[in-house]
């Protein structure tokens, strides 16, 4: 029994140390910059900075069925799957966009422009620049699945409808953590606002 207790204690220590290193790495990952303009309960209104994205189109299927394959395509590119074999830093969040043509997106690190990016080996990968935009965002913890994404999308739609605020109808799921990080998980559902008029001065900044 004593040996088992020692093994369990050692395993717990290793797990805690590993999670601490993972959390440190996540905190140092470049994130898409934004300012918080307003907060309505659990919903934040954010102004996102202009950014360049890599993306891959996905079948119109549930998140759980296509997220892994989309991630592998884009991760393959930044891990060296390009004409120069260059490794490109991971950024956060990973974005799943729900539109007529669903796609997964990685933000390109801010030190790059279109001309500097190596050509992908995978022809399914494309790049696009998004201008600054205002989005409504709701956050939730734990591991994301289709039910949780749908639940928070409905919550966001209701808040915007109650406030009579228009949006473009293209919702996004944004995930911030690797799958092996078990604590402090951050997930968000977002949609771009249309014709938004800020009610107050900016009060909060964050990422």
Residue-number span of the structural domain to which 98 is assigned: 2-206
pLDDT, tens digit, 9 for 90 and up, residues 142-165: 999 999 999 999 999 999 999 999
Cα(157)–Cα(203) distance, integer angstroms: 24
Distance from C-alpha of 52 to C-alpha of 190, rounded to nearest angstrom: 18
Query: What element of type H or E holds 156?
Result: helix 146-162
How far is residue 55 from each of residues 74, 85, 157, 159, measured CA to CA in Å? 7, 19, 25, 29
The whole-model pTM stands at: 0.82
Helices and strands (H, E) in the chain, number of each type = 3, 12
d(CA 172, CA 190): 5
Positive or negative: CA dihedral 107, 99, 133, 151: negative
Answer whether residue 65 shows pLDDT above 60. yes
The total domain count for the chain is: 1
Whether the pLDDT of residue 136 is over 80: the answer is: yes
Confidence band (pLDDT; 50, 70, 90) for 3? low
Model pLDDT, residue 1: 59
Instruction: Determine the pLDDT at residue 118.
Output: 96
Average pLDDT on 68-74 reads: 96
Strand partners, 55: 105, 126
Where would I find the beta strands (DSSP E) of 24-124?
30-31, 34-40, 43-48, 51-57, 91-92, 94-98, 103-107
pLDDT digits (tens, 9 = 90+) for 111-125: 999 999 999 999 999
pLDDT given at position 122: 98
The predicted pLDDT at position 182 comes to 80
CATH classification of the domain holding 50: 3.20.80.10
Considering the chain, what is the average pLDDT of its residues?
Answer: 86
Percentage of the residues of the chain whose pLDDT score is greater than 90: 75
Of residues 65 and 200, which shows the higher confidence score?
Answer: 65
Q: Give yes or no for residue 12 having a pLDDT over 80.
A: no
Distance CA 137, CA 153 (A): 9
């Amino acid at each position: 029994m004593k040996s088992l207790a020692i093994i369990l204690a050692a395993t717990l220590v290793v797990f805690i140390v590993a999670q601490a290193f993972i959390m440190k790495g996540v905190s140092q990952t470049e994130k898409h910059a934004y300012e918080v303009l307003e907060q309505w309960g659990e919903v934040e209104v954010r102004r996102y900075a202009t950014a360049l994205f890599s993306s891959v189109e996905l079948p119109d299927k549930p998140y759980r069925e296509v997220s892994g394959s989309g991630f592998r395509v884009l991760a393959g590119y930044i891990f060296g799957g390009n004409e120069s074999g260059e490794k490109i830093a991971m950024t956060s969040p990973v974005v799943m966009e729900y539109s007529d043509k669903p796609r997964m997106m990685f933000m390109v690190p801010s030190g790059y422009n279109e001309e500097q990016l190596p050509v992908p080996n995978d022809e399914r990968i494309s790049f696009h620049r998004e201008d600054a935009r205002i989005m409504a965002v709701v956050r939730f913890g734990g591991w994301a699945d289709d039910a949780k994404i749908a639940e928070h999308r409905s919550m966001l739609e209701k808040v915007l409808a109650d406030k009579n605020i228009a949006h473009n109808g293209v919702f996004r799921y944004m995930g911030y953590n690797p799958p092996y990080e078990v604590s402090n998980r951050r997930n968000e559902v977002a949609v771009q606002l249309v014709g938004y008029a800020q009610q107050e001065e900016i009060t909060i900044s964050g990422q």
